[in-house]
Amino acid sequence: MAKQYETVIGLEVHVELATKTKIFCSCSTEFGGAPNTHTCPVCTGMPGALPVLNKQVVEYAMAIGLAANCEITKVCKFDRKNYFYPDNPQNYQISQLYLPIARNGYVEIEVGDTKKKVRIHEMHMEEDAGKLVHDEWDDTSLVDYNRSGVPLVEIVSEPDMRSADEVIAYLEKLRMIIQYLGASDCKLQEGSMRADVNLSVREAGTKEFGTRTEMKNLNSFKAIARAIEGERQRQIELIEEGKEVIQETRRWDDNKESSYAMRSKEDAQDYRYFPDPDLVPIVISDEWIERIRANQPELQTEKLERYKKEYDIPQYDARIITSSKHMADIFEAAAAICGKPKKVSNWLMVETLRLLKDHNMEPEDIRFSPENLAKLVRLTEAGIINSSVAKEVFEKIFAEDIDPETYVEERGLRTVNDEGALIEVLKKVIADNPQAVEDYRGGKEKALGALVGQTMKAMKGKANPGLVNQKLKEML
């Protein structure tokens, strides 16, 4: 009988914080811009330049630590992690090893019906590296330091996860917490959230952990799931063949769906950490912690409960909407403007989710304003446009955030409530469709539908369907 294996997974998650400036200098953290435009002596490691810590980084890190139930380290320090690589201009990264800002926390995840705690070992602040681009023309690499010094929080979990599903649930949970805090937008594709997977396998029932590998370069949930499966298989095969798993860092190639070792003699992996003499310790008082705690925004669980009570929307809908801070913000703002939370919720739950799925987008990518959604709800509620027109208009809102009032006016999409005009059309429809008229009169209720359809078509969809029905019945 084949042996059963258990996968043991721990995660190192890097999150780029949503500060306006870098961690140790006042260069902008904005994306884009030509290479090396967002740089200064500090973030390019110029001789003599010195770092000065951005206070907002500490406050975001504290907020994340508290939301993930961590203990905040009252005296924390920065250390230098020494290694040579061109994306790292000082050839050391300023990070935290000995006294990280937060420790011993957990987040709760739900997979299927089972709830589980994933413990957080520690969380620390550090600086991001620059970007290396391979130059095909002369087979060299080009270095851009625009991202160098962007603040990161690295969240290191305990090896508490056992499957790709749990890993993704954990990542989604972290992402939600951090987005709610406004500490990061956590986009995997853009690299503002990155996960390194530490994975080992062991025979089911054994207590000891197997040798783990670390996998890097995972930039989507799908890639993470595939990499976990791939690495699990690779390790099991090695074990079955009686070979050893080597503790190493591997790079996942999602196109090839395989990983390769990143080892070289020149990477000694001996980082010679020591306290950075250019930075002074951070002393965090209880008052400071309480201030951060008090300013913590409403997190998802609280919001969900409030939605059910305040807006009377079902648990399922409340959960979907609150799963994205961005979507929840749109919901609340639109509901406040139009006063019809259930209608707003419907637009989000049905049409918005459908369009997101069609376009392979995340809720975070929604670009329309709550004002325009609210206007659309008002237009439909007032009977100014009918539901099929509304759907068409919403697609425009979703795509281009158009103002629905102007759009409806400009294109003359208002429902026609003019009885005289309607009766003229109905007369014509009755005259043109003698068979359907006869069927209806003969008791076939269905035939009425066909006539309504013809009428709507003739009126280019702008008729009020209720009125059409009523008048038709009268006239027949």
Partner 1 sequence: MDITSLTAVELGKKIRAKEISVAEAVKASFDQIERVERDVHSFVTIDKEGAFKRAGEIQKQIDDGSLQSPLAGVPVAVKDNMCTKDMLTTCSSKILQNFKPAYTAEAVRNLEKAGAVIIGKTNMDEFAMGSTTETSYFGATRNPWNLGHVPGGSSGGSCAAVAAEESPYALGSDTGGSIRQPSAFCGVVGIKPTYGTVSRYGLIAYGSSLDQIGPVAKDVTDCAVILEVIAGHDPKDSTSIDRNIYIHSASAETNGLKAGSPNLAGYDFTGALKEDVAGMRIGIPRDYFGEGLDAEVKEKILAAVRELEVRGAVAEEFDLSLVQYAIPAYYVIASAEASSNLARFDGVKYGCRTEEYEGLHNMYKKTRSEGFGEEVKRRIMLGSFVLSSGYYDAYYLKALRTKALIKQAFDQAFAKYDVIIAPAAPTTAPELGKSLSDPMKMYLSDIYTISVNLAGLPGISIPVGRDSKGLPVGMQIIGNCFEEHKIIRAAYTLEQTRSYERPESAGMRGEGGDR
Partner 2 sequence: MANKISDETIEYVGILAKLELSGEEKEKAKADMERMLDYIDTLNELDTEGVEPMSHVFPVHNVFREDVASYKDGSTDTLANAPLKKDNSFKVPKTIG
List residues binding partner 2 (CB under 8 A). Answer: 19-21, 26-29, 34-41, 44, 46, 52-56, 58, 75, 77, 82, 84-87, 132-135, 139-145, 217, 251, 262, 264-266, 268, 270, 272, 275, 277, 279-283
Strand partners for 109 = 116
Angle formed at CA 116 by CA 114 and CA 117, multiple of 5 degrees: 170
- The least distance separating partner 2 from the CB of residue 170, rounded to whole angstroms, comes to 26
Q: Which residue matches tokens 């400036």?
A: 21
- Give the residue with the Cβ less far from partner 2, 27 or 155: 27
Q: Which residues bind partner 1 (CB under 8 A)?
A: 41, 44-53, 80, 82, 84, 86, 89-92, 143, 264, 266, 270, 272-274, 277-280
**Measured CA distances, 241 to 145, 207, 223, 470 (Å):** 45, 22, 27, 78
Which does residue 350 bind out of partner 2, partner 1, none, counting CB within 5 to 8 angstroms by kind? none
289 token code pair: 């912690």
Neighbour tally for 383: CB within 10 Å: 13
Do residues 90 and 45 touch, judged by C-beta distance below 8 A? yes
- The least distance separating partner 1 from the CB of residue 266, rounded to whole angstroms, comes to 4
- Give the residue with the Cβ less far from partner 2, 41 or 339: 41
Can you tell me the distance from the alpha carbon of 197 to that of 324, in angstroms, rounded to the nearest whole number?
24
- The least distance separating partner 2 from the CB of residue 70, rounded to whole angstroms, comes to 20
- Give the residue with the Cβ less far from partner 1, 280 or 336: 280
CA-closest candidate to residue 183, choices 75, 37, 68, 95: 68
- The least distance separating partner 1 from the CB of residue 109, rounded to whole angstroms, comes to 35
For 427, residues 6+ apart whose C-beta sits below 8 A from its C-beta are 475
Can you tell me the distance from the alpha carbon of 321 to that of 376, in angstroms, rounded to the nearest whole number?
19
- The least distance separating partner 1 from the CB of residue 51, rounded to whole angstroms, comes to 7
Which does residue 48 bind out of partner 2, partner 1, none, counting CB within 5 to 8 angstroms by kind? partner 1
Can you tell me the distance from the alpha carbon of 417 to that of 353, in angstroms, rounded to the nearest whole number?
32
Can you tell me the distance from the alpha carbon of 27 to that of 149, in angstroms, rounded to the nearest whole number?
9
- The least distance separating partner 2 from the CB of residue 49, rounded to whole angstroms, comes to 11
- Give the residue with the Cβ less far from partner 2, 150 or 349: 150
Which does residue 294 bind out of partner 1, partner 2, none, counting CB within 5 to 8 angstroms by kind? none
- Give the residue with the Cβ less far from partner 2, 269 or 435: 269
